[in-house]
Structure 1
Amino acid sequence: MQAPAFVAVVGHNGAGKSTFFKVLTRTLPYQGEVLLNDQSLHHLSNPAATGLLSYLPQKNMVAFPVKVRDLVVMGLFRHKRFFEQYSAQDYETVQQLLNNLEIPHLLDREFTELSGGEQQMVWLAQLMLQDAAICLLDEPTQQLDIYHKKRVFNLLTDWTVQKNKLILCITHDLVNLHGHVGYILNLSKPEPQLEVLSAETIRENMLYLEEKPPVI
């Protein structure tokens, strides 16, 4: 893996973007060879459980009442021993993270009472707290307003450098990618041309961390 890097995964509907992520998370059978950190994915039964990879799907559901602070702190569960309680310092870390995301007012709210955009920001906070080397995000800005779309992309691209992350982000939000440092992984087929040309236009305006795209 070459990191840090922000990779925008783009393409028309049905191009295989989410399928690609399902392969990386070992939730879909595949043929061929995929390497994560120079290890064959066939030899990694659960990359997420090892802390190598974290994944924020397009839709996440919570069917029980839970405070935002308690949902976000669960991002630390891989760093805990069995039955180990979350500490005051853990909750302080959650507070600082929500401050950075500009959503500290959600800390004591019930998650199920939040808007779709607010819930998405909370899931992003939990993902960041997991602190995995490789982060997969499927349409993280889909339900956000214009301000928070830009805010999320700024946070993700900054995060790659500050925390030495490899971030792969499925998105159709090509406009807000303009000016960011990273790569375009375009999975579109030759048709429709509009989608491909839009991605190429953004590619020309993006700065690159390296001459070659990152190796996962």
Structure 2
Amino acid sequence: MNCTIEARKLVLGYSGKIISTCLDIVISEPEIVAIIGPNGSGKSTFLKALSRLLPPEAGSVLLNGTDIHQLSPKKVARLLAVLPQSAQAPGDMLVRDLVANGRAPYIGLFGHLSADDQAAVQSAATATGIADLLFRRLDTLSGGERQRVWLAMALAQQPKILMLDEPTTYLDVHHQLEFMKLVNSLHRERKLTVVMVLHDLNHAARFSHRIIAMKKGEIFADGKAGDVLTVPNLRSLYGVEATVVTMEQGGFEHLVCLPHDICSSYGA
């Protein structure tokens, strides 16, 4: 069964300062959605609101037709998992224990992992390629390994929707591609809806089905990569001149964005 998340006339802000206004989107099919835009455009704020981490100033976020803030945290967590930008955990914690935290929405009063919980942890570890790391301490892992462990914790929730905030920021090129390909595989195999904030336009172009571009707190464009990642749009969004070309790899075509100069009139 598909899970739908919807923003209706969303107004967002912090401490009375309005960041975004009149945000309207519907995500109703299992797809990969990338949220892009310049720094300060409201991308992460929007993701936090969709994730129930930030109450709106006005408007609403609906999860399967119900206001997400009217649902219990456990009910939301059984449908939606979030991987924040800078996730933290004690360095001496075992990988197994961190992944098991993903079962919190299902664990009963006494906090014991059932056979189903243990199976979900093992399944998440296998899917993310960390099964051989389960008894390692977090502080012995590389950056790429740690990111896969956090992803495994989110998968252990068995969500329908996965939300990621700049998941490749601290990774080198190899591990960025490895992580993005893993997310793409999980989307296909588990029919996951993935909503992620990305800075890398080429990752957005290659791995997402839909791109939402934000500018100054508003949705500037929303559609397929070819409709959003155009030369005029990139000029308006980022103040850069770019060349956008189509590349074929492995029988699949995707766009590649090549920024090459700064617009002198940007922000004027």
| Range class of TM-score, shorter chain | 0.7 to 0.9
Residue type of the partner of 2:113?
Y
- For 1:144 and 1:102, the matched residues in 2 are separated by 17
Aligned length: 203
Conserved in 1, the CA contact under 8 Å of 2:34 and 2:212?
A: yes
TM-score normalised over the length of structure 1:
0.78
Q: Which has the higher helix share?
A: 1
The residue identity in structure 2 corresponding to 1:20 is: F
Alignment partner of 1:8 is 2:34: yes
- Give a deviation string over 1:101-120, Cα, whole Å, max 9, x none: 23334221111333333222
Number of the residue aligned with 1:167: 194
Give the gaps of 5 or more residues in structure 2. Answer: 5-27, 217-235, 247-252, 256-268
2:178 is the alignment partner of 1:121:
no
1:45 Cα deviation from its structure 2 partner: 5.5
C-alpha change, 1:92 and 1:166, in structure 2 (3 Å) is closer
What's 1:141 paired with? 168
Trace 1:148-187 onto structure 2 (pairs within 5 A). 148-187=175-214
2:61 and 2:115 map into 1 onto residues whose CA distance is 40
State the match for 1:34 in structure 2. Answer: 61
Q: Higher mean Cα deviation, 27-36 or 68-77? A: 27-36
Q: Which moved more, 1:125-134 or 1:64-73?
A: 64-73
Paired position in structure 2 for 1:131: 158
| Counterparts in 2 of 1:117 and 1:157: CA distance versus 1, 3 Å | closer
Tell me by how many angstroms 1:88 deviates: 6.1
User: Could you tell me how far 1:169 is from its partner in structure 2?
Assistant: 0.7
Aligned 8 A contact 1:48 1:54 in 2: no
Give deviations 1:135-156, integer Å, cap 9, x for gaps. 1100112222323322222222
Quote the Cα distance in structure 1 between the aligned partners of 2:240 and 2:75.
35
User: 1:138-188: CA deviations, max 9, x gaps?
Assistant: 011222232332222222223223222221011112223444351111113
Comparing both structures, which one devotes a greater share of its residues to strand?
Answer: 2
Structure 1 residue 28, shift from structure 2 partner: 2.5
Residues 26 and 45 of structure 1 are in contact (CA less than 8 Å); yes or no, is this contact kept in structure 2? no
Q: Percent identity?
A: 36
Report the secondary structure of 1:33's partner residue: strand
Superposition RMSD on alpha carbons, in Å? 2.9
Q: What are structure 1's unaligned runs of at least 5 residues?
A: 207-216
* Bigger radius of gyration: 2
Deviations 1:74-112 (A, max 9, x none): 212212212142256644553453343233342211113
For 1:81, the aligned partner's letter is G
Residue among 27, 42, 45 paired with 1:19: 45
| In 2, Cα distance between equivalents of 1:80 and 1:47 | 10
Q: CA deviation at 1:68?
A: 0.5
5 Å-filtered alignment, 1:82-101, equals 82-87=109-114, 90-91=117-118, 93-101=120-128
